[in-house]
A and B are shown apart, each in its own frame.
Chain A
Amino acid sequence: MTRHYSALSVLKEGLTGQKGWTPAWRHATPQRDYDAIVIGGGGHGLATAYYLAKSYGLKRVALVEKGWLGGGNTGRNTTVIRSNYFYPESAALFDMSLKLYEGLSRELNYNLMFSQRGMMVLAHSEGEMEIAARSTNAMRLNGVDAELLTRAEVQKRAPILNFSAEARFPIWGAVNQPRAGTARHDAVAWAYARAANALGVDICETCEVTGFVREAGRVVGVETTKGEVRAARIGMAVAGQSSHLMTMLGSALPLRTYTLQAFVSEPVKPIMDTVAFSPKTGTYFSQSDKGEMVFGGALDRVPGFTQRGNPPMMEAVIAGLLEMAPSLSHLRMLRHWAGAVDVTPDSSPIIGPVGDVMISCGWGTGGFKAIPAGGALLAHLLAKDEHHPVSRPFDISRFATGALIDEGAASGIAH
């Protein structure tokens, strides 16, 4: 039986007919009673289950997922990982995540194809260069790596960008975060599932939560399509479905579910080895290891849960891409998909208790990069029943106190 992944095990299995590989995780049917239940088998839920077992030693943890692992937004994003945020609270949260990503392939013994290829946020005018300098300084003060690039430096890094004299949005420079990059999104879900399962977590797919069990006014478990499951601690990381589940508990959330689309082109030879984002077009893109151009943009304008996008936003994103890199007009589109993302009024996540349930939601368009920190923080809340210093500012109480963390306004784009 081969459980550890290494060059040696690939060689050994190659020589012995690939017969020793074991499934990465075991499909479990939930038992009646656990120490903790995690609702949602995306990256955040799987990471939560993993850290509950690994960092807090919980032996009996169940993860329930209505569909298949990583089938929601974890499998529907553009794989970008970054921590180029303006406010100290956000920088602490997303840089915690980036730091965890930096050691994650080794920790989970799974090649996440994490590639720190840098990300540039372009500036298109003299005024935007001043704001870019401010962003760079804010990031550095927050302890995040950042550098202000000139037009010539941007051109050296990404010559396929639009440096024509007729460009609608001429490139003056960029804010670059060298440690930003991309990772294989499915692998993040699979790696956490495999590692959590190895620590004894029961991973229950096609097990949908249909209600909550209450006793003496307290939530003590969940009703699922595979029976009732009880636990003293219940965590929830279900993105666009958060309002739907919390309605069952009579709680409304400051969340609206929107569609976010993403796209890949046919694969071509390497022409872009970094990530570029233009706040003017709203489009960002990178090139996958296979050679596809991977790109996305802003949210659809119509709220909904459909997981498929509308043509007007598709047109806007593609038009933005062709403005940024006109030579890509020759490419054919390969695939297009959409996810149901949960957007808060201040474009920052909600982490913490709501009633008897610990929730992590509101990650909106940026949940993938936050998976390791989101999981670690939700696990901390479940295990300790109190906030971690990094998660405290993101408690839902900020909407009543007014201490919003308005990253949407700070970055000047529609999240």
Chain B
Amino acid sequence: MQSFPCPFCGPRPEPEFLFVTEMGKTRPEPAAEVSAPVWAAYLHDVKNIKGEVAEVWQHLPCGQLYLMRRDTTTMAVLGVQSFRKGGAA
């Protein structure tokens, strides 16, 4: 079984982790001026990159969200980073 690193708990088995979303989406503002296609793109469109990706993951037992870089063609983990300022690496 693959291990994923949690910046807070260290390496843990894959079923403890939840994929949340891709990094890099910005919510279109102001809401009143956002057209339906732009809002739909924000809600639904994803890059779905074949190769190196930056994603938000959650380690379910500790509940923390963090950034994980992976390669979606090899499943190798390239690095993790806490979203906390000055927090765990």
**1/0 contact trace for A285-313 toward B, CB 8 Å?**
00000000000000001111110001110
A256 x B14 contact (CB < 8 A): no
A400 x B37 contact (CB < 8 A): yes
> How many A-B Cβ pairs are below 8 Å?
71
* Contact among B19, B41, B47 with A247 in the assembled complex (CB-CB below 8 Å): B47
Bound complex: CA A402 to CA B44 (Å): 11
B14 x A302 contact (CB < 8 A): yes
- B79 within 8 Å of A by Cβ? no
Distance to closest chain A CB from B49 (angstroms): 8
Bound complex: CA A401 to CA B14 (Å): 37
A304 x B1 contact (CB < 8 A): no
Bound complex: CA A254 to CA B19 (Å): 16
Q: Closest residue of chain B to A307, judged by CB?
A: B73
- A271 within 8 Å of B by Cβ? no
Q: How many residues of A contact B (CB 8 A)?
A: 24
- A111 within 8 Å of B by Cβ? no
Q: In the complex, which residues of chain A have a beta carbon less than 8 angstroms from the beta carbon of B28?
A: none
Bound complex: CA A253 to CA B44 (Å): 8
A305 x B50 contact (CB < 8 A): yes
Distance to closest chain B CB from A200 (angstroms): 33
* Contact among B19, B40, B73 with A301 in the assembled complex (CB-CB below 8 Å): B19
- A280 within 8 Å of B by Cβ? no
Most B CB atoms within 10 A — which of A252, A255, A302, A311? Answer: A302
A310 x B14 contact (CB < 8 A): yes
**Are A253 and B75 CB-contacts (below 8 A) given A301-B19, A399-B40?**
no
Q: Which residues of chain B have a CB within 8 Å of any CB of chain A? A: 1-2, 13-15, 18-19, 36-37, 39-41, 43-50, 70, 72-75
A–B Cβ pairs within 8 angstroms, 14 of them: A241-B50, A243-B46, A243-B48, A243-B50, A244-B48, A247-B49, A256-B46, A256-B48, A257-B50, A303-B19, A304-B75, A306-B75, A312-B15, A399-B40
